[in-house]
Structure 1
Amino acid sequence: MPGPYVVRVHGDEDLPEKVDVVVVGGGIIGASTALELAERGLKVALCEKGGIGQEQSSRNWGWVRISRRDPREVPLMAEALRLWSGFDQRLGRDTGYTRAGILFTAPDDKSYDENERWLQNLEGYQLESRMISGKELDALLPGGHMPLKGALYTPVDGRAEPQKAAPAIAEAARDKGAAILTECAVRGIETSGGKISGVVTERGTIGCSAVVLAGGAWSNLFCGLYGIDLPQLKVLNTVIRTKPLQGGPEAALWSKDFAIRKRQDGGYTIASGHENIVDIVPKSFRYARQFLPALKLEWNSLSFRLGGRFFDEARIPAKWKMDEASPFEYNRVLDPKPSLDLSNRFFDSLKAAFPVFNQAEIAQRWAGYIDATPDAIPVISAVDEIPGFHIATGFSGHGFGIGPAAGRLMADIVTGRAPVVDPAAFRFSRFSDGSKITPITGF
């Protein structure tokens, strides 16, 4: 079954001869970066090998949350919440954003205490988030049959529509003068005097002095062409979309067995709260040591499998010439097959907890590849080895909500403006400068 329907963005016909910055990748991170740069008066080209937002940017849950974030992401996500609140007006388009709150359930004392301890990460931010129980919790979970001690409730968290957001941001960037180039894969970069001087696309060359790689799950392959070792693997996440349903929760909800959020059309997006699939591929062995700490923490939530994906990735060339088709042109959209068994399990768990979902009709199932780093936080950084080259990738399943702020931070780094938050945690060099790479368990 094909992936979700994404609002279509028609690419520009003409390839610009020269711009200030080329952004590679038309997901929410790339589109947000392009918008920020264009609003600052820079000439920008956003190049996407397929269509805008057609990979993980449209396949995620649609959560806009600060709750249960890695503490290193909290400052950036606080900025993202501020940006989302006025986003539709700024863009002049609908992203489906609304603040409806998010609940992280706590079935026992241990999980309750863990959620309560997390609250200290919001000290000083003046953002409402608290532990709730009893009648207040019951009121937020109408018709629910979940034995809970309580839940972490963050009213300022919200949701938006992934199939609308990246296209809306890209169109707004075009309004500000950015070139939006779809079905226009960037094959590689050009340098002069050791610095970025342009990119080679399948449609020709664009001169530029800076490049931002926001290629999601493809970023490792692109970097490898230049001997830049970006540790990155893919995790498969499966999602169900239902038809409109009356009587379900308004707030988004996470539990170990399922996660749900109401959609703008009245249906629901449903996924497993913790279980994902990891395909064993050749690079699994290359990065096994770096990902080992994360695997130890998340072992019970990952299902490993060896199958056709191993051979698919083994056939992808690591090197190619600029005058021949690149791997990005042979696979325009990563559209993996969803797991029927997994999706049936989490849907059955949801129906047991909320009987109203026995009336829900499944409209679609899809899957997407999450691009993960060993510490499960992104790279938003310049790359010292190639002046003018920057990376914004590896968001590890947390990229949708934080996307607008990540784009702002990346634009700050490119232009030399004082960064909106301290970017040190997201520096690319952390993987090579002897820093301890520390993943944080849970979310």
Structure 2
Amino acid sequence: MPGPTPDPVDGAADLPARADAVIVGGGIIGACAALELAERGLSVVLCEKGVVAGEQSSRNWGWVRLTRRDPREIDLMSLSIRLWGELAERIGADVGYRRCGVVAPFFSEAEREDAAAWLAHLDGRQHRVRLIDAAETARLTPGSTLKPLGALHAPEDGRAEPQAAAPAVARAAQARGVRVVQGCAVRRIETAGGRVTGAITERGRIAAPLVVTAGGVWTRLLLRDAGVTLPQLRILNSVLRTAPLEHGPEITVRGPGFSARRRADGGYTVSALSANIHAITPDSFRFLPKYLPVLLKDWRSVTPRLDRSFIDGLAELRRWGADDETPFERVRTLDPAPDAAMTDRALARLTEAFPVFERAKVAQRWGGMIDVTPDAVPVISTAAGVEGLIVASGFSGHGFGLGPAAGRLAAELATCAAPSVDPAPYRLSRFFDGSKITPLTGI
């Protein structure tokens, strides 16, 4: 069964000879960065090897959450929630964004203490997230059989529709002059004298002093060719959606063994935090020391697997020239097979918690590749030694919700504007400057 089909975008047929900036990748991050740069008056070309939102930007859960966000992401996510709230009016399109709230029940005193410890990171910030008791949890989740002690409740958290969001932003960027070119892989980032001079695509060269790499799991390969190391591994997450179902929860629920949110079509997107598989590649061994902290902390949430990915990873070690076909062209859209057993378990746990799902019919399953960094925090950063190169990748499963703010921060770094949030937690150099790699919330 193929993955989700994103809304179509009518791309341009040709490339300009030059631009102020080239965006690599047509997911939510790339589309938002393109929109931001265009609104700042820059001429922008967005190059996408497949179709806009063809990969993880249309395959994620569709959550826009502050709940249990890594503390280093709180300010960025707060900005993103505000930008999501303004997005429909800004771009003239409904992307399904709704502030439905998120509830995360806890079932022991240890879990309560853990939730309270996370909540302490919001001290001094204006957020409505709070701990609620069992009675309030039951009121927010009618029809549930869960018997929690209470829950973490974020009423301003929300949801949006992944298949619609990035395409709608890309179309708005086009209306502001951005050239969106689909089926056009960037093969190399061109540099001279320690700065970016352009991008070499499969259709020719674009001269540009700025390149923003927002290619998801493909970003490491492209940066490696430019002499920049991004520690990044691929994690497969499996998801299912149900057919429309009446009388299910309106609030998004992160429960024991499942996560579920209502969709605009009346169905539900269902998965679990444990529904992650890491297919072992040569990079798994290269970056193992950097990933040990997160693996030791969240080892139960990721299942290792040895399959053809290792052979593919060996092939990707080969360097290529500007005229060579690249891995980006050989795989236009990553469409990995989902782990049906994992999604079945998630649906079964959801049904235990909400018996109404006994009537649910599975409409579709899909897999998506998440680009994970060693601390599960994204890289939104300049690249030392390559002026004009901005990295926006490694979102570790958080990219959809963070998308609007991440695009804004990437644009601010590209134009040397005052940043809306402190970019220090997202600097690429943290993996090489002796900083302690500390996973706080996992993927």
Contact 2:382-2:391 at 8 Å conserved across structures: yes
Deviations 1:57-95 (A, max 9, x none): 111100001111111000111110110111111011111
Q: CA deviation at 1:124?
A: 2.7
What residue number does 2:187 align with?
187
1:139 match:
139
Q: Which runs of 5+ in 2 are unaligned?
A: none
Which residue number corresponds to residue 423 of structure 1? 423
> Given the alignment of the two structures, is residue 83 of structure 1 paired with residue 83 of structure 2, yes or no?
yes
- Contact kept in structure 1, 2:294 and 2:442, CA below 8 Å: no
What residue identity is the alignment partner of 2:384?
D
Which amino acid is the alignment partner of residue 382 of structure 2? A
- Tell me, in whole angstroms, the C-alpha distance in 2 between the residues paired with 1:105 and 1:149: 8
Deviation of 1:147 (Å) = 2.1
1:229-308 aligned within 5 A: 229-308=229-308
Correspondence list, 1:150-165, <5 A: 150-165=150-165
Contact 1:197/1:207, CA 8 A, preserved across alignment: yes
**Secondary structure of the equivalent of 1:237?**
strand
Deviations 1:349-407 (A, max 9, x none): 11111110010010000010110000110110111221111100000011110110001
Aligned residue identity for 2:59: R
> How far is the alpha carbon of 1:308 from its aligned partner?
1.9
The C-alpha deviation readout for 1:92-126, integer Å capped at 9, x for no partner, is: 11110000000111011111111122112222332
Provide the rounded CA distance (Å) in 2 between the counterparts of 1:375 and 1:324. Answer: 34
Residue 436 (1) aligns with residue 419 (2): no
Contact 1:272-1:343 at 8 Å conserved across structures? yes
Distance 1:194 1:276 in 2: 38
Alignment-mate amino acid for residue 47 of structure 1: C
Q: Distance in 2 between matches of 1:193 and 1:62?
A: 42
Contact 2:69 2:441 in 1 (8 A): no
Correspondence list, 1:2-401, <5 A: 2-401=2-401
Corresponding letter in the other structure for 2:278: V
Q: Structure 1: how far apart are the matches of 2:306 and 2:84?
A: 40
- Matches of 1:256 and 1:354 in 2, distance apart? 12
Distance change >3 Å, CA 49–CA 246, structure 1 → 2 = same
* Structure 2 contact 238–367 (Cα < 8 Å) conserved: yes
3-state DSSP of counterpart to 1:17: coil
Conserved in 1, the CA contact under 8 Å of 2:214 and 2:393? yes
Shift of 1:14: 2.1
Once residues 67 and 301 of structure 2 are traced to their aligned partners in structure 1, the CA distance between those partners, rounded to angstroms, is: 20
Aligned residues: 443
Contact 1:142–1:247 (CA under 8 A) maintained in structure 2: no
Q: How does the TM-score come out when normalised to structure 2?
A: 0.98
1:281-334 Cα shifts (integer Å, max 9, x gaps): 111111111100110001122111111222222222431010121110000011
CA distance in 1, matches of 2:146, 2:89: 38
Q: Kindly state the Cα deviation for residue 272 of structure 1 after the two structures are TM-superposed.
A: 1.1
Name the SS of the counterpart of 2:377 in structure 1: coil
Contact between 1:232 and 1:374, CA under 8 Å: does it hold in 2?
yes
TM-score by length of 1: 0.98
Structure 1: gaps of 5 or more residues? none
CA contact (8 A) 1:23 1:45 kept: yes
SS of match in other structure, 1:58: helix
Whole-Å Cα distance in 1 between the matches of residues 50 and 278 of structure 2? 24
Q: Secondary structure at the match of 1:88?
A: helix
- Distance, in Å, in 2 between the alignment partners of 1:361 and 1:59 is 19
Structure 1: distance between partners of 2:288 and 2:324:
32
Q: Can you list the C-alpha shifts for 1:249-292, whole angstroms capped at 9, x where unaligned?
A: 10101123000000001100000133411111111111111100
RMSD of aligned alpha carbons? 1.1
Q: Distance in 2 between matches of 1:341 and 1:327?
A: 30
Q: Distance in 2 between matches of 1:362 and 1:119?
A: 35
Higher deviation after alignment, 243-252 or 137-146: 137-146
Distance in 2 between residues matched to 1:311 and 1:324, nearest whole Å: 20
C-alpha separation between the residues in 2 aligned to 1:301 and 1:384? 33
Query: How many percent identity over aligned positions?
Result: 51
Q: Report the Cα offset of residue 442 of structure 1.
A: 4.9
Distance 1:400 1:253 in 2: 17
- Name the CA distance, whole Å, in 1 between partners of 2:437 and 2:134: 39
Measure, in 1, the Cα distance between the counterparts of 2:299 and 2:222. Answer: 29
* Contact 1:88–1:95, Cα closer than 8 Å, also in 2: yes
Is the CA contact (8 Å cut-off) linking 2:240 and 2:269 kept in structure 1?
Answer: yes
Rounded Cα–Cα distance in structure 2 between residues aligned with 1:42 and 1:23: 12
Equivalent-residue separation in structure 1 for 2:442 and 2:37 (angstroms) = 34
Tell me the secondary structure at the aligned position of residue 81 of structure 2: helix
Shift of 1:138: 1.0
Contact conserved, 2:134 with 2:151, CA < 8 A, in 1?
Answer: no
Q: Is the 8 A contact 1:224 1:318 kept in 2?
A: no
Tell me the CA shift for residue 225 of structure 1.
1.1
Q: Secondary structure at the match of 1:418?
A: coil
Work out the CA distance in 2 between the residues paired with 1:442 and 1:284: 17
